[in-house]
Every structure is written in C-alpha cells, then in structure tokens.
Chains A and B, each alone.
Chain A
C-alpha cells in the first residue's frame, strides 16, 4: 500500500460547489486508509475548497499543482485518506 501512487481518480471539473466536495468525499470513502485519490479540478473555488474540506475531514493533501496537460485551468490534487472518523450522529 503505497501513498505515492493514486489508487483512484476523480474528475470534478464539470461540477460546482458543493457537488465538487461531495463527489470527492464519496470517492475517498471508497478507498482504504492511506490510499491516495487523485482529483482533477478547476482553479479558483474548487482548488481552494476541496483540499481544505478534505483536511477538515481528516485526510491529507500530499500534492496540489497545476495540470495544464489535462486542460487549461486544470489543477491536480492528491488526497491521502485519513483514518475513518468516528461516525457522527444526530441527537
């Protein structure tokens, strides 16, 4: 289990908030702790919010860089899945 090679890939360039983070969150829930999800996203709001939301949810951002070879304005982020958080519940 290497943290250096993504085990899943997600393209959320066609989406806007909050679907961007929701799709990333679902994709993260489908990989094992320590595995990496590669996400292609647009510059601006998604580039700012998706990595921040991931860190707030206990995941690690291990790479964040422009990916012009994927298309103009595209960024790449690698998210390493953190330990599953204790399931939160309602009152």
Chain B
C-alpha cells in the first residue's frame, strides 16, 4: 500500500536519504520487530525504530522497571514496578503516533528481532532462537568501553561466531545510547536492503571509535547446518 500523506509528511526528510525511498519506507512500515532483553541499549533503539517508521514493535521483557534501569529519558518514576515491556511500548507510542507497540505475545509472528540482552549470554540464547526461526536479527551488546552491534541476516554467520570477548566492565548509559542507536540503524538498513556488503558484520565501538568487520563462521558451528542453507522446516 502506498504511503499516506501523513506518512510522507512524517518521514519526508528520511525519504530523501541515500537508499531510502517509498519502497524502503513501506518495508519499514510492514516490519514487525520483536524487541527483547533488558539491556541499556533497548530504550534508545526503541526510540529510533519507532521514529524511523517501523510499523510494529513487540516488547518481550516481563521484568519490572527498577530504579537502576538507566533509561531515565524513556522510563520515568511512574514506570517503576511496571513490566518493562509495557513501559517500553508506551514509550514507543510516545515517540511516534504511527507505530503499533505492544507486548510480545505467543503466536505473534515477527519479521525480525532486535536483541538487547543485559549480558552476552542472554543475547546468545535469544539470537540462537532467532537463527532457528530464520529471522534476521541485530544484537546490541553494551560494555564499559562502549559495546558492539552484530548484524545477522538469515543464513549468515551466527552471533556466537561473530562474537569475541569484549573488554568487559559495567555497561554505561553512554554506551547504551551509542550502541542502541547504532543497532536500530543496522536493523533499519537490513529491513530496507540499504546496507552494503558485507551485510553480516559486527561494529565494535571502543570509547567512541567504531571498528567494522565482516563476520565469519567458526569451524563446526551449528549455524553452518541445514538452517543456514534454508533446508530446515
């Protein structure tokens, strides 16, 4: 369906960006993103995905909002004690009147995932689920020096293959904002097809300096199996 006048007005400046256009904007509108994990990157990423015109955001995070949530601009005092997913859905609707934002429910059929785990182990479990479901996903990891964003198009080297140990350290709100906004952009580029090769890549941000590299499959990894070849059911 063609963009409405309201959508053209809302996204006019974005529609003029390289690689963007009516088809790309429609692809964003048709996307249904399952946003998972309670890491510091989730709120900034949510803001950018909603503002960019992603049509549907489903939040998969049953934990309660705690004072140390570190997303003060997104979740306020009124949100304390609420399920984070519900609070983030409200934040997404605040960011854009055009987005459909709700809790992720069993049976919902997302077209992609954004993984914002609070630790690489949590992210790895969710990313593996996305791989088995053959859904493109982007993983945001925040650490004490910044963090990393891993883009995993369907069939490409998995998150585990792409990951190497970070420098560790307690995640910071600054790192969450940097990595979250970058993760949203990577997902937008995947959804619109506007990213250049290699699309399977990892961006590591160290104290504000990004380093981009193509990801490679590790020998023997399960991601080289039938799912990668598109043979699984």
Contacts and interface: CB of A to CB of B under 8 A. Distances in A.
A2 B40 CA distance: 57
A66 B19 CA distance: 34
A21 B16 contact: yes
B195 interface: yes
A88 B189 CA distance: 12
A25 B189 CA distance: 21
Contacts of B196: 89-91
Interface in A1-43: 15, 18-19, 21-23, 25-26, 29
A72 interface: no
A26 B47 CA distance: 26
B5 to A, nearest CB: 8
Nearest to A26: B22
A16 B194 CA distance: 27
Indicate the size class of the contact surface on chain B: 10 to 19
A22 B24 CA distance: 14
B62 interface: no
Given A18-B13, A89-B196, A90-B195, A26 B8 contact: yes
A87 interface: yes
Contact of B19 (A19, A21, A90): A90
Interface in A60-91: 87-91
Contact of A22 (B12, B18, B19, B212): B12
Contacts of B80: none
Contacts of A18: 12-13, 16
A10 to B, nearest CB: 12
B229 interface: no
Interface string B17-45: 01101100000000000000000000000
Contacts of A15: 9
Contact of A90 (B13, B16, B18): B18
Given A89-B194, A89-B196, A90-B196, A22 B189 contact: no
Contacts of A19: 8-9, 12
B15 A25 contact: yes
Interface string B190-202: 0000111000000
Contacts of A91: 196, 212
Given A26-B22, A89-B18, 15 more contacts: A15-B9, A18-B12, A18-B16, A19-B8, A21-B16, A22-B12, A22-B15, A26-B8, A29-B21, A89-B194, A90-B19, A90-B189, A90-B195, A90-B196, A91-B212
Interface of A: 15, 18-19, 21-23, 25-26, 29, 87-91
Closest 8 pairs (CB-CB, A-B): A88-B18, A22-B12, A89-B196, A18-B12, A19-B12, A26-B22, A89-B19, A22-B15
